[in-house]
Amino acid sequence: MYYITIDCGTTNSRVYIVDETGRVYAKAARKVGVRNTSMTGSRDCLEQGLHETISRAIAESGIRPEQFRAILSSGMITSEIGLCELPHLMAPCGVERLADHIVRVDDIHLTDYEIPVYFVRGIKNPMPETVENPFSLVGNLDFMRGEETQIAGLLAQDALPLPATVTVLSSHTKFIPVKGRGEILGSLTTTSGQLREAILSQTFVGKSVEKREHTDEKPEGYFDPSIVLEAVSWIRQAGIVRCMMFPRFLDVLLDTSWYARELFFESLIAAEDMLALGQLDRFDPACKERFVFIGLPGRCRLYEFILRHNLPDAEVRSITDPSDIDSLSIDGILHIIRKAGIFHG
């Protein structure tokens, strides 16, 4: 039997046609996500976009519709601006609890065929039942939708020595501590990716870090540790809002290359991002012994360097190959539904 898996994010969604072993027969992606619902106030664009993406993947696979057992979905699709709002599970939470609370929904039609749809819930940080002062508590709050499935994939692949902190570098950064029994303790989320894009596209900083006509090409593999460490130091001294002026000063007042300014800018964002690790101790200090970064190679390299500078004794590795990252979500959701008894592959 075959399955359709959906990884629905804020701006992008990916669909895979797989069998019970996780072998991929076809995949399709589309720039559609819950951001479309937020912008339009309607779920129609998201539902139609997923329907078309699934149809394209099915056609590419050559598999007959009656051979599909289920559609398995995780990510932002279960948020309040997704297709099926489901409340988060409260951390600590492992694969067994995710499996126990998987939800089947029959009135959402993502294909032209009668294929049941299953949704994996997200996870939120522990919080009290009653809150007297929300503003004194808010820094302890967080949630995730989708990353829990990637962590289930790491556990299924036996690729996550525990305890550890998994760090997903995407439009948001998520630091996710996982304790020795494979339970997710919570998360720390930043808007670093979105902040970066907004600054580059909506402020004059973007012009100071882009290549201009008649300027040198960036040397292959360019990375200057001294520039990264200067960025780390300046973030600690001045904070991100002040530091965002510095690439402009380097451009206008000093003789610097565009690619050095670009590295400095990226390092400022990363250094600010890594300050969130100061909250890890409240989960479990042992999770700072090991880190796994998931994301683009250049970004993982930068974060690895800063982490090794701050925590020289920590074990660090990165997962950067796109197919390896894809396999985490696929293997994760299959691992969860095995635990749920939906199949025994």
How far is Cα 203 from Cα 206, in angstroms, rounded to an integer? 6
Backbone angles phi, psi at 15, to 5 degrees: -125, 135
Strands laid side by side in the 315-319 sheet: 188-190, 173-178, 164-169, 290-294, 315-319
Specify the pTM. 0.93
How confident is the model over 282-330, as pLDDT tens digits? 999 999 999 999 999 999 999 999 999 999 999 999 999 999 999 999 9
Bridge partners of 105, per DSSP, are 117
Q: What pLDDT, on the 0 to 100 scale, is given for residue 42?
A: 80
CA dihedral 259, 264, 265, 267 (to 10 degrees): 120
Q: Is the pLDDT of residue 331 over 70?
A: yes
* 3 state SS for 31-90: CCCHHHHHHHCCCHHHHHHHHHHHHHHHHHHCCCHHHEEEEEEEEHHHCCCCCCCCCCEE
For residue 130 the two structure tokens come to 């009653």
Among the listed residues 309, 248, 250, the one whose alpha carbon sits nearest the alpha carbon of residue 274: 309
> Each residue of 93-130: pLDDT tens digit?
999 999 999 999 988 889 989 899 999 999 999 999 99
Q: Do 108 and 37 touch, CB atoms closer than 8 A?
A: no
Grade residue 29 by pLDDT with cuts at 50, 70 and 90: very high
pLDDT tops 70 at residue 186: yes
The domain made up of 2-159+322-340 has a fold known as Nucleotidyltransferase; domain 5 (3.30.420)
Strand partners, 259: none
Domain ranges of the chain: 2-159+322-340, 192-274
**Do the beta carbons of residue 155 and residue 335 sit within 8 Å?**
yes
- 291: part of which helix (H) or strand (E)? strand 290-294
Q: Which residue has 């991929």 as its token pair?
A: 24
For residues 292 and 103, give the distance between their C-alpha atoms in angstroms, rounded to a whole number: 29
pLDDT at 83: 85
